[in-house]
Amino acid sequence: YFKLLCPHSTEHVSAASKPCTTRKCVRFADSLGLDLAAVHRFRTTDTPHIPERVLLGLYQQALLRVAFPPYPTFPQPGKSESFAETLRKRIVCLDRVFVGEISISGLIRVLNLDFQKTVIVRYSLDRWRTYLDAVARYVPREVEEAEWSHGAAVLESDRFSFHLPAPHFLHVGDMLEFAICYRCRRIRILGQQLYPAHRQTNKKGRKHNLHHRR
């Protein structure tokens, strides 16, 4: 919601609260037969004048986005030789993450504990003071079999993909944090739980960070 803050000056408040008893109007000097202070005629071929400080600020922001994109603060989990064993123990794991110019995407592995399952990526740009949720999409088995290289884990796990908007407005040193949430009936029955700042018995998750390079 939007909040309008009133000034603390009592003089301003009292003046604003007084009813307007006189009619006000605006008149231009030339309509009264007077000379205007300055006249400037614009043409479509004119090049607009942009102050150097504005151009410099835009250039610096563009340079930061191109030369210093956000990068993971962790190694790609899916490249680990022990990834299959880690997945069996943790039930849900981040496979890999990709940082692009307009989005941040990734792949998630979950154990196939139930036919109906939901994977949610919760992300925050202000260290979890606020957050947003993005629902991951199931990756069909025939698409992933050629890429998966961890043996028997294919038979007992499923893969989901997610996409997050790239935070172009982040400054150097800022961080995007995200957590993976896995929901299914089997997890609720087992009573397992792990989710940042939220304790619910039908969720299991892992937390990861993306850091903007200093």
Average pLDDT score over the chain = 68
Q: How far is 211 from 116, CA to CA, in rounded Å? A: 33
When pLDDT is averaged across residues 32-61 and rounded to a whole number, the result is 71
Query: Domain 70-212 classified CATH 1.10.1040.10?
Result: no
Of 84, 92, 146, 90, the residue nearest 119 (C-alpha):
92
Beta bridge partners of 207: 179
Q: What is the pLDDT of residues 121-153, one digit of tens each?
A: 998 888 888 999 999 999 987 655 555 544 444
Q: How far is 116 from 34, CA to CA, in rounded Å? A: 78
Range with the largest mean pLDDT of 33-37, 103-107, 194-198: 103-107
Residues near 172 by beta carbon (within 8 Å), at least 6 away in sequence:
64, 68, 212, 213, 214
Domain range summary for the chain, segments of one domain joined by +: 70-212
pLDDT > 90: percent of the chain:
9
Indicate the Cα dihedral angle 108, 112, 113, 118, nearest 10°. 40
pLDDT > 70: percent of the chain:
55
Task: Please check the confidence at residue 19 and state whether its pLDDT lies above 60.
Answer: no
